[in-house]
Every structure is written in C-alpha cells, then in structure tokens.
Structure 1
Amino acid sequence: MIEPTGLRARKKARTRDAIAEAAVSLFLARGFDQVSVSDVAAAAEVSKPTLFRYFPTKEDLVLHRFADHQGEAARVVRERRLGESPMAALHRHFRAGLDRYEPVTGLCDHPAVVDFHRLVFTTPSLAGRLTQYLLEDEQALAEALDPGPDVQARLRAAQALAVQRVLARTNWQKIADGRTARDVHPEAVTDADQAFARLR
C-alpha cells in the first residue's frame, strides 16, 4: 500500500526533527567535536545513510536552524511596502524581530537558545559552515536589490547582512554575560536604529 503524500511528508519531517534534536542535545552536552555522526544516528535510532539523506554534513545538523531563515532578507526586500526603500524594509523587519525577541536577532534569553548560539559561535567548523549560508544569503539579497546584480548591489547586500550579524552577535554576548533580553532590548533597538541609519 502506498502512503498518501501528506502522511509521507509528515513522517519525513518528524524523522528530520528527531535527528536534529538528538544531534543538538548531544553537541550541547559533550561538545561538537566530541560527538560523531554515528553517535547522533544511534541516539536518533536511524542509520548513517538515513541521517545523511536529511543532513548532508555534520555541521548541517546544527545549522539547519539558520537555514530556516535563508533568503529572508531577499524576501523582505522583494515584498517591501510600496515606496519603502530596501534598507528601510530590512530595518523594519529587524526591529520587529527584536520586539518579538526572536533568536535570530540574538535578543533571546531562553537558556537553550543562549547555549545553542554559544555552540555555534565557539566552534570553528560551525562558524565556517555558517559563512557559506551567509554568502548564499548575500547573493540572494544582491539579486533582490538589482537583478544584475552589479558590484554596488553586492556591496550593499554584504553591508546589510554584516550589520544584522554584528547586531545579533552583540545582543547575544550581552545576554551570555548574564543580562536579560528585556534589559538589553532598549540598547538593541538603539544600536539597530543607528546602524541602519548609517546604511541608508
């Protein structure tokens, strides 16, 4: 009997989530470099080939959470309000994320999120793989700014994404140092406003 497409998709999503959760739990407990792919597969009760069907690299087991935001900046620019500049749209979107305390802005003090960001920021191989995600985002944003895109669009895209990355890392560091997200929020908003004003 053939499974309906919807059921098959849900089963795949559950398997992917179970692998990712097992991986992150192990990495947080023992360190990224101390856990093998075989360890993750065993914890998730899947084979290594199955694991690699869902996550092409060990780093992707962690960074899939960032992949969920891939292309977001380009989408914000493409779907911006009539008459709104690209940088104003990106600024508005980032500010809204701060107000919702979204993990991607670094302004989230949930212990699991703080520990997850620490894992990513302090593991060289994860930081290196994250750079690849950022380069893909940069290309997508440049194309949204200018379908060419020319070097000016690529420079604008790189600057906008660098600003968001530095703001998020700064917010996370303040929280990792023991402050609450609510306490950091006013500073995060001021930093974002000033940074995007300079971009514009």
Structure 2
Amino acid sequence: MTEGIGLRERKKIQTRRRLLAEATKLFTERGFDQVSVAEIAEAADVSKMTVFNYFDSKEDLVFAPMEEHIGDVARAVRDRAPGESAASAVRRQFLDSVESRDPAVGVSDSPLALGLLKLIKQTPALLTRAHWYFVRAFDQLTDALVEEGEEPVIARIVAAQLIGTRNALITENHRRLLAGETADAIAADAVELAGRGFDLLEKGLGGYATRDDASPRMAS
C-alpha cells in the first residue's frame, strides 16, 4: 500500500501505524482512562508533541481507523448505478464489506479489531464517541438523499431505516465476536441475515429512492 510514494510519506504512515498499535496495546492492557498520551509517545519512541501532530486527541487514537468509514453508506448511495435503489446499494456495500472481513461491519477477529471493540464497549466516553460516528453517518446519508431531490424529512426517514438495518446487523456481529466466535463463522450467517433484513426493508420502501437513468432525483 505504500509503494509509489516518497520516503517521507512512508515514514509518516509507519509512525501513524506504530502510534495506533502501541496505543491499542496499552489501552487493552490497562484501560483507556489509565493510559496517558505521554505513555503512548514513550512506547512508540516519539515525543508527546509528535502524537498530537498525528492525532487531535487521545480518543482519536481509538477511532482513527473508523474515521474513513463514516461515509461508506452515503458513498454507496451516491455512486449507485441507474435503476438501483438506495436500499440495494446499501445492501451491496454491506455484503462487500462482509466478504472482505472489514472491521467496519464487525467481521474481523484480528487482535487489533477485537481489542478496539472490547475497549469501546468497556469505556463510556468511547461509547459516546461511537454514537457520534453513527449520527455523522446518518447525516451524510440524509444529505445524499436530499441532494437527489427528496424533501429533508422524508430523506431522514429513509436514512433512518437504511442505517438502522445496517447497524442492527453490525450489532449482532459484534455480539458474536465478543462471545468468542470466529469472523468466518459470523460472516456466513451475516450474509443470510443481511438478505432477510434488506429484503424486508426493500419491501417496505417499495423500490423507493431508485436512481433514474436520466436524472439523479428519486423515483416516485
């Protein structure tokens, strides 16, 4: 992933990864509130100022890997093909993520992903921050639907159903991960559950928010 970029940029990527790895190790060993930024810096062999050059806060050391996924659902809806409904686009994106064992949908049992999940569940401040990510994803999806011409209140209703279905599936994946099941075992069932969940959703929406070939606006 670092091929084709300069040495300076590669070093920055390596430093960022080292900070995330050391922070996660310390957090999972001792708890989020018991670890200071100075201790993370020492473990990563950098200065405290360097940590803040890469991350705005200690919480960002937990959530940085998730930041890039906030817009996943909105992007899937914006980029969907003509004739594809919003629900179908969200279903497709979710299933692709399951297939790739993406931690963002709760189907990775790597030590890092599992450690972060346990840490968030055990730390009230981090649970609050996780909810904020949910709200941002919802807002971005709502904006994507409004951009297609839907009135805001209806866009929020549709977005709530799409995000709610996806989050229910992810919550079940998390539950099973924390119970000690493997990602492969969870993924097999996640595909079947997603099929049932999105089938119900699409029946309720009735093909709503299907992109027309000639226009990005909603189908009636």
Identify the TM-score tier after normalising by the shorter chain: 0.7 to 0.9
Question: Which residue of structure 1 aligns with residue 123 of structure 2?
Answer: 123
Question: Secondary structure at 1:23's aligned position in 2?
Answer: helix
Which sits farther off after the overlay, 57-66 or 36-45? 36-45
Q: CA deviation at 1:47?
A: 2.4
In the alignment, which residue of structure 2 is the partner of 1:183?
A: 185
Unmatched runs of 5 consecutive residues or more in structure 2: 203-220
Task: Tell me which residue corresponds to 2:195.
Answer: 193
User: TM-score w.r.t. structure 1 length?
Assistant: 0.87
Letter in 1 for 2:56: P
> Is 1:70 the counterpart of 2:70 in the alignment?
yes
Q: How far apart are the structure 1 equivalents of 2:16 and 2:188?
A: 37
Change in Cα spacing, 1:20 to 1:142, as seen in structure 2 (3 Å) is same
Q: Structure 1 112/18 Cα, relative in aligned 2: closer, same or farther at 3 Å?
A: closer
Equivalent residue letter for 1:169: T
AA in 2 matched with 1:27: F
1:87 deviation in Å?
A: 0.9
Q: Deviations over 1:38-90 (max 9, x none)?
A: 11121122222221221111111011111121211111111112211111011
What corresponds to 1:159 in structure 2? 161
Q: Provide the rounded CA distance (Å) in 2 between the counterparts of 1:184 and 1:46.
A: 38
How much identity, in percent, do the aligned residues show?
39
Q: Which amino acid counterpart does residue 125 of structure 1 have in structure 2?
A: A
User: Aligned-residue CA RMSD in angstroms?
Assistant: 2.0
Counterpart-to-counterpart distance in 2, 1:102 and 1:61 = 19
In structure 2, the residue matched to 1:145 is: 145
- Cα shift readout 1:132-168 (whole Å, capped 9, x = no counterpart): 2222222211111122760221232233223222211
For 2:20 and 2:50, the matched residues in 1 are separated by 13
CA contact 2:24–2:112 (8 Å) conserved in 1: no
Normalising to structure 2: TM-score of the pair? 0.80
Q: Which residue of the partner structure matches residue 82 of structure 1?
A: 82
Say which SS state the counterpart of residue 23 (structure 2) adopts.
helix
- Give the Cα–Cα distance (whole angstroms) in 2 for the partners of residues 81 and 110 of structure 1: 33
Partner of 2:33: 33
Residues 114, 172 of structure 1: 8 Å contact kept = no
Paired residue total: 196
What's the counterpart of residue 10 of structure 2?
Answer: 10
CA distance in 1, matches of 2:58, 2:194: 33
User: 2 CA distance for matches of 1:102 and 1:151?
Assistant: 32
- The structure with the greater share of residues assigned to helix is 1
Q: Which runs of 5+ in 1 are unaligned?
A: none
Q: Distance in 2 between matches of 1:71 and 1:146?
A: 15
